[in-house]
Amino acid sequence: MVCGVTEGSVYRTCNCRDENRKPLGSACPKLKNYKHGQWGFRVELPADAAGQRRPRRRRGFDSATAAENQLEQVRGLLAIADEDDVELRRDIGDVIALAFANRERFPDIDEMRRLVRAGADVTTTR
């Protein structure tokens, strides 16, 4: 299965709850105020070795621009691998997923590109 570069999306949400203590998220009426809430992004990483989907989210950004910059970082990393190189796309996805899980910074695009050109195992870079 050929997988293109994932689009992803930027969104705004907050932690407000309704009278039943259910999170309002992006439906919060206070989000009309630009000082309320926080920005985040969502991206679908390539499927893991077992074929499982890997949607990932990160939020807590002060602006849409900051969230978009991080999303662009993930897109740039995924774009390093050719669309038909499923194994490399999966390996880069593994590195990104680990950064999400550990709440770490994403790897540098140029450094990842150097590792790929050198034929090094990108999953051992962390």
Asked whether residue 120 is domain-assigned, the answer is yes
- Cα-based distances in Å from 19 to 11, 24, 28: 24, 10, 12
Rg (CA), the chain: 17
For residue range 79-122, what is the model confidence (pLDDT) as tens digits? Answer: 999 888 899 999 999 999 999 999 999 999 999 999 998 888 88
Residue 126: count of CB within 10 angstroms of its CB: 11
Asked whether residue 93 is domain-assigned, the answer is yes
Asked whether residue 1 is domain-assigned, the answer is no
pLDDT computed for residue 1 by the predictor: 38
Asked whether residue 104 is domain-assigned, the answer is yes
pLDDT computed for residue 92 by the predictor: 94
Domain span at residue 58? Answer: 9-124
pTM: 0.85
Beta strands in 1-126 (DSSP E): 9-13, 38-45, 54-61
Asked whether residue 53 is domain-assigned, the answer is yes
Asked whether residue 45 is domain-assigned, the answer is yes
Asked whether residue 89 is domain-assigned, the answer is yes
Domain count of the chain? 1
Token pair recorded at residue 72: 């662009």
Asked whether residue 113 is domain-assigned, the answer is yes
